[in-house]
Structure formats: C-alpha cells, structure tokens
Amino acid sequence: LDNKEEFTHTTLATDVMRPRRGDQPLTVIEQEGMTVGDLEHLVRTTKYNGFPVITSHESQQLIGYLYRRDLILALENAHHNNEHVLSNSLVYFTLHAPTPSLGGANDPVPLRLFNIVDLSPITVTDHTPMEIVVEIFSKLGRQALVTHNGKLLGIITKKDVLRHIAQLNKQDPDSILFN
C-alpha cells in the first residue's frame, strides 16, 4: 500500500470494515467451548486468512487473532501427536489449562491452543479515520480488527482498504494490483 499520495477523504474505519449491514456476522472463535470438530468445520467452510478470538459471544471482548494457517497446522499436529484428540475434544484458547476431568482412558482429551493466538493484533476503533488506517497498513500488517470499548465489531484487510480507495477514486477495483 503506497502512502505517498495523501489520503484526503473523511471516511472512518466503521465505513470500511466488514461485516457490512446485512452481511453475515464475523466468523469468530470463542476462547472456550469449541471442539476440534467445530474448528475443522470453520477451516473447511471459510476462506478467511484468520479469525478473531473472543471471550464469548455475550461479551464480544477481543482476545487476539488466529491465523488460518496456524490453526490448520496446530490441528494437524494435535491429531498426529495424540490419538485421544478427537472431533469432540474441547479446545481452550486460555492461559490456564482446564481442570483435568476424571474421564476414562478413551475419552477425548482437551486441547490447549493459547500459544498460537496473536495476542497483539493491530486494532483500531470504529471512529478511527481511514487516513490513519491507510497509514498503519502502509507500514505494517495485512489486517486490523475494529473494536468499540474493547468489543469486537469488525475487521479491515489490506484488500478492503485498496477496494475502498478504488471506489473513492471511482476506479474499477479489479484494475488495482493487489500484492
């Protein structure tokens, strides 16, 4: 993203972020309660580069961002390294391990994947001017999470920004070269 030409519009992060009104909600990962099968389903049925991790659907508090490739690798490794990791194994994206249950020898073991979450994703608020977002993307990052009072509202990728600039310039978005 080239920042040499100044971005002189007054749009805000909330105008560019996804989901748009009427879109499906964000695909997110809950810190506790999802199973290996749920996560495999996410990977199979979506193409996103990653998923915001939140404490719970009720609170929507943002914990971090999990890259799709890191999740795929971790699930593969888990199956490979432990035969008791099954589809119904619970996955914990929490700092502390769950209390071990007194299950039988063949029960699914829980999986802890806290270590693969990026706990410091780039975040902006819904009111951040796009001018700032463009500057951020010109220096670092491919996606930014949009929050309001710590609650997750949406996501903006570099491509969303390029598409937005193209629209403002009334260009055909497909004519812009994405790298």
- Please give the residues from 149 up to 178 whose contact with ligand ADP meets the rule CB under 6 A: 155, 157, 159-160
CA angle 9, 11, 15 (to 5 degrees): 150
Residue type, 56: S
**Residue among 12, 42, 31, 29 at smallest CA distance from 130:** 12
What is the closest distance, in whole angstroms, from the C-beta atom of residue 128 to ligand ADP in the complex? 15
9-13 long-range contacts, Cβ below 8 Å, gap at least 24?
A: 9/130, 9/131, 9/168, 10/129, 11/129, 11/130, 11/164, 11/168, 12/126, 12/127, 12/128, 12/129, 12/130, 13/124, 13/125, 13/126, 13/127, 13/128, 13/129, 13/130, 13/133, 13/144, 13/146, 13/156
What is the closest distance, in whole angstroms, from the C-beta atom of residue 143 to ligand ADP in the complex? 6
Binding-site residue total for ligand ADP (CB under 6 A)?
11
- Comparing CB distances to ligand ADP, the nearer of 9 and 163 is 163
Give the one residue of 47, 80, 96, 170 binding ligand ADP; rule: CB under 6 A: 47
Applying CB under 6 A, does 147 fall inside the site for ligand ADP? no
Q: Candidates 2-10, 43-51, 84-92, 122-130 — which segment interacts with ligand ADP by CB under 6 A?
A: 43-51
CA dihedral 177, 49, 6, 179 (to 10 degrees): -20
Cβ atoms of 112 and 89 closer than 8 Å = no
Applying CB under 6 A, does 27 fall inside the site for ligand ADP? yes
Applying CB under 6 A, does 79 fall inside the site for ligand ADP? no
Applying CB under 6 A, does 18 fall inside the site for ligand ADP? yes
- Comparing CB distances to ligand ADP, the nearer of 9 and 18 is 18
Applying CB under 6 A, does 11 fall inside the site for ligand ADP? no
Applying CB under 6 A, does 48 fall inside the site for ligand ADP? yes
Applying CB under 6 A, does 75 fall inside the site for ligand ADP? no
- Catalog residues that contact ligand ADP under the rule CB under 6 A: 18, 26-27, 47-49, 51, 155, 157, 159-160
